[in-house]
Structure 1
């Protein structure tokens, strides 16, 4: 695939469980193009979230090769992977993963500070404004609703202007109205920043917004189908 920013070749994943080693992924081959929006769909336990974590270097493939932006993640140690994610990736987790002892503003500014950005707090304020939470900058996660926390998490992921954005069930814990708001922001802001977006979802309406969907079943890619973007 031309201009591929993510490439997985013969990727497998096995994890140790109570009954011994469990094979999660069974030889995944996948290419994701620059600027593409890709939905990972399939039943619970099919390996969607594990595949997303491997793409982000948050889980190591047991075998196979994972390449992002021309860099082979499978050859990097943990420090190199952390630096690569800091400089190139944003991750939106289903359960937000905000730092509870930090305000919304501090949560969004943290990855910018780690990257050495001098205007970290100014950029963080700007991102909070884009997600409609400029007035909540001094509030802690426990003082915010689930929808507000997810918007802070989205602002944090996008503030460093990553080239790759990974989202794991970004609307899974939200009601209909908040879920729609996060969906709109996710696509609007990733497009504005020119990020390649890969998301895991059970929601057909969210998957339908993607340029392409890949369906997983029992750790294998069952189908890869192009879908029309919503009008």
Structure 2
């Protein structure tokens, strides 16, 4: 296997090719009783600008599949290409650089840095990416999610809905072509969940990003171009809008 380093990963050109392509992808993890097959033979393509929902019962492999697509977990078999790059050939530094430039990730549990303000949390990936006006961009993204007045507050001073808005602003601030969301409304009440749904799609429309999300919420899945259901680590069904 050829492993690419940070400096050897060129910026991909946008083409008609799929943004994400999975070929016979498998994931096996070691459990207490031995190897456990989490994903089995997943083959899937996601096109530029598409919105895709991954659904299925708990334990079906949805979040594991999303983590593989984001290069946050390593495949046990098969191949994943994102924007023309085989993720399995990238070392950890190159994967981190690839995500920083090309992917925004929104987690169910927010993952905000507790000792940084909302503004600093959103500015962080911009600073890491070398953006000269990181704080100005971060302030604009906070305003876009309705939190322009909360930039100097720490995560503990924000409600769950506000924390998820900050996490969303942080994910989309670098304007990534791929946005991954793992149960983005899972920890929110109905009102805040609906607000996050609306924000996800409005920001996706604004930036033209490809949106791939894991969700148990049928109303959120129904807004996507395509819904894929997983069952026992395999693709069980596919519905197009």
Measured on the aligned residues, the alpha-carbon RMSD in Å equals 0.6
CA drift of 1:138 comes to: 0.5
**Structure 1 residue aligned with 2:97, among 75, 78, 83?**
83
Residue 12 of structure 1 corresponds to which residue in structure 2?
Answer: 26
Residue 21 of structure 1 corresponds to which residue in structure 2?
Answer: 35
The CA deviation string for residues 12-46 of structure 1, in whole angstroms up to 9 with x for no partner, is 00111222211100010000000000000000000
What TM-score results when the alignment is normalised by the length of structure 1? 0.97
- For 1:98-177, list aligned pairs within 5 A: 98-177=112-191
SS at match of 2:22: strand
**Which runs of at least 4 in structure 1 moved beyond 2 Å after TM superposition?**
none
The CA deviation string for residues 58-116 of structure 1, in whole angstroms up to 9 with x for no partner, is 00110110000001101111111000000000000000000001000000000000000
SS at match of 2:162: helix
CA drift of 1:224 comes to: 1.1
Residue 69 of structure 2 corresponds to which residue in structure 1?
Answer: 55
**In structure 2, distance between residues paired with 1:3 and 1:14:** 29
Residue 204 of structure 1 corresponds to which residue in structure 2?
Answer: 218
Q: How many residues align?
A: 226
SS at match of 2:95: helix
**In structure 2, distance between residues paired with 1:15 and 1:127:** 38
**In structure 2, distance between residues paired with 1:224 and 1:34:** 18
SS at match of 1:40: strand
CA drift of 1:3 comes to: 2.9
Structure 1 residues without counterparts, runs of 5 or longer: none
**In structure 2, distance between residues paired with 1:203 and 1:138:** 32
**In structure 1, distance between residues paired with 2:205 and 2:85:** 23
The CA deviation string for residues 37-57 of structure 1, in whole angstroms up to 9 with x for no partner, is 000000000000000000000
SS at match of 2:19: strand
Residue 96 of structure 1 corresponds to which residue in structure 2?
Answer: 110
Residue 44 of structure 1 corresponds to which residue in structure 2?
Answer: 58
Residue 74 of structure 1 corresponds to which residue in structure 2?
Answer: 88
